[in-house]
Amino acid sequence: MTQTMLSARLHEYQKPLIVENVKVPNALGEGVVVKVGGAGLCHSDLHLINGEWKNAIPLALPKTPGHEVAGWVEEMGNLVPKGMFERGDLVAVFGGWGCGSCLACKRGDEQMCLIAKWPGLSQHDGGYSQYIAVPSYRFLIKVEGSRLRPEEIAPLTDAGLTPYRAIRRFRHVLVPGTAIAVIGIGGLGSYGIQYAKMLAPNSTTIAVDRSDKKLRFAKNLGAEHAIKLSENTRKEVMEITQGRGVDVVVDCVGAENTISASVALLAKGGALTLVGLFGTKICAPLMSTVINEYQITGSLWGNYNELREVIELAKQGKVKHTIQTFKLEDINNAINLLRNGQITGRAVITPNQ
Ligand SMILES: [Zn+2]
Ligand SMILES: [Zn+2]
């Protein structure tokens, strides 16, 4: 292995990332060094780079962001069980690096670990780099027997995982005759529409976005109805659902206006599940929330087994990938395009191309 590699690092908040040479990490203990094939660009990276999370997630800069990673096993530490991986294996990196022993980890939700360390969002450097040090082989999923490319696998570890968990948790209420709405057809929402069709095949799927282009995109992904986010959204949704409203709303934006629009769409007993982190607070009308027994809940990322399921669906060819790839050198361009809402699907950085 060469001694240095290119990484895109955050040196100062609100400044472009700097692509520079750093030392290649070593694989220690049960750790594995992965050669990065693809690293998806997430809205969370924008919040991080903007410095919005510097108090919530204090980082020692410079830091390499990137928490949506897939690539090939490059080097293994001496405690990785023999025969589990071979050099060159294609792997997805599960990003919720938990301690493995707290209550959440033992329950299987390592992304909820009390002392979680997420790549690019903790002291561990992330995937906008030619190589990434993954602290344990436990966080890798081997992707065998498919034609999936790393740049297609990478977004599945977050954009393609988060809406899966959010919808899967409410699958039991989505019986025939119910409706599910996905708000915001960006990186997460484009997968959300597909999972709504898969996990709730007998429910009506409604896409809501402010962009006509993204609504057409949602239709191509299988949404039965695509509705513009406006003052008339509620009226149109009520017509589609014969005045009943929507049983599950997945808000992939999380802005104050999308949250209040989402609450207004709910059927009696309906659930709003929040995954987007655009805004800062939730505002819902107290009276209708109580008398209609709305459930308003957050959903964080996904766990290891959910990622396995998502990868399985992708291997079976059931997940459509809409990605735009960028070289590591062009990462700041990709960041600006995402900031301006000009990415359809997911932007993926390919540091070794
Ligand atoms: Zn993310
Ligand atoms: Zn833990």
Span of 54-58, 172-176, 313-317 with lowest mean pLDDT: 54-58
Tell me the CA–centroid distance for residue 187 and ligand 1, in Å: 10
CATH of the domain at 81: 3.90.180.10
Residues 193 and 58 in one domain: no
Distance 127 CA to ligand 1 centre (A): 12
The pair of structure tokens assigned to 171 is: 């699958």
**Residue 333: pLDDT over 90:** yes
Mean pLDDT of the chain: 96
Residue 199 lies in domain:
162-298
Write out the residues surrounding ion ligand 2, Cβ under 5 A. 98-99, 102, 105, 113
What spacing in Å lies between the alpha carbon of 241 and ligand 1's midpoint? 32
- Are 15 and 150 contained in the same domain? yes
Domain endpoint, select from 279, 298, 317 = 298
Closest C-alpha to 191, from 210, 171, 204, 205: 205
Indicate which ligand has the atom closest to the C-alpha of 102: 2
**Do 206 and 186 lie in a common domain?**
yes
What was the pLDDT predicted at 181?
A: 98
Please compute the mean of the pLDDT values over residues 69-86 and round it to a whole number: 97
- Ligand closest to Cα of 276 equals 1
66 and 210 in a single domain? The answer is: no
Report whether pLDDT(1) > 70: no
Q: How far is the CA of 92 from the centre of ligand 2 (A)?
A: 20
Q: Which pLDDT band, with edges at 50, 70 and 90, does 218 fall under? A: very high
Helices 256-265 and 233-240 pack at an angle, to 10 degrees, of 30
Q: Are 124 and 118 in contact (CB under 8 A)?
A: yes
Is the domain of 204 the same as that of 166? yes
Can you tell me the distance from the alpha carbon of 121 to that of 19, in angstroms, rounded to the nearest whole number?
18
Q: How many domains does the chain have?
A: 2
Region of residue 65 (left: phi > 0; alpha: psi -120 to 50; beta: else): beta
Q: Which of 38, 32, 12, 11 is nearest to 22 (CA)?
A: 11
Q: What is the mean pLDDT of residues 115-131?
A: 94
Q: Residue 330 above 70 pLDDT?
A: yes
**155 CA from centroid of ligand 2 (Å):** 24
In tens, the pLDDT along 136-192 reads 999 999 999 999 999 999 999 999 999 999 999 999 999 999 999 999 999 999 999
Confidence of residue 2 (pLDDT cuts 50, 70, 90): low
Examine the pLDDT at 256 and tell me if it is beyond 70. yes
Same domain, 12 and 153: yes
| Ligand 2 midpoint to CA 31 (Å) | 17
239 and 326, same domain (yes or no): no
Do 101 and 190 fall into the same domain? no
Task: Please indicate, yes or no, whether residues 81 and 149 belong to a single structural domain of this protein.
Answer: yes
| Closest ligand, as measured to the CA of 277 | 1
List residues bridging with 134 in a β-sheet.
32
| Among the bound ligands, the one closest to the CA of 100 | 2
Q: Are residues 208 and 137 in the same domain?
A: no
Distances (CA, A) of 40 to 173, 192, 209, 243, 262: 32, 17, 22, 39, 27
Cis peptide before 155 (omega within 30 of 0): no
Question: For residue 180, which of 249, 83, 254 has the smallest C-alpha distance?
Answer: 249
Assign residue 231 the CATH number of its domain: 3.40.50.720
Share of the chain above pLDDT 90, in %: 93
54 and 136, same domain (yes or no): yes
Same domain, 205 and 280: yes
Q: Which ligand is nearest to the CA of 107?
A: 2
